[in-house]
Amino acid sequence: MKKKSAIPKTVNQYLAAVPEPARSTLKEVRAAIRAAAPAETTEIISYGMPMYKYKGTLIGFAAYAKHCSLFLATPSLLKLFKDELSRYEISKGTIRFPTDKPLPASLMKKIVKARAAQNDQKQDR
């Protein structure tokens, strides 16, 4: 029987277990998210992967064998950034990109800010 690896408790633990080049790519993703997210955003592990919470789910990311993914928590952002995301594989609320090439930091920051604005609007209702 195959031994299950331990679920990480922190994002640093998660990243430490990710092989290169995906680890470096996800460190760039993390930096862009942290730079754009509101100060009150919390960084957690949910479903075994890094997630960010700000008035609800903000965004998350993960590494897989052949790609990395950014989880937007809502498909509406895919429509909003359709042109900028046209060269990436997308489905529902997920963007897939190569393990050795993150999304442009400027695009990730716009996505994070748009998602935070959506969460702000939900709270204001």
In this predicted model, which residue has the larger pLDDT, 93 or 55? Answer: 55
More confident residue, 89 or 92: 89
The residue extents of the domains of the chain are: 11-114
What's the CATH fold of domain 11-114? Answer: Aspartate Aminotransferase, domain 1 (3.90.1150)
The reported pTM is 0.90
Top pLDDT among 13 and 5 is at 13
Q: What is the 3-state secondary structure (H, E, C) of the chain?
A: CCCCCCCCCCHHHHHHHCCCCHHHHHHHHHHHHHHHCCCCCEEEEECCEEEEECCCEEEEEEECCCCEEEECCCCHHHHHCCCCCCCCEEECCEEEECCCCCCCHHHHHHHHHHHHHHHHHHHHC
Mean pLDDT of 52-57: 96
On the question of pLDDT at 4 being above 90, the answer is no
Q: What is the pLDDT of residue 124?
A: 59
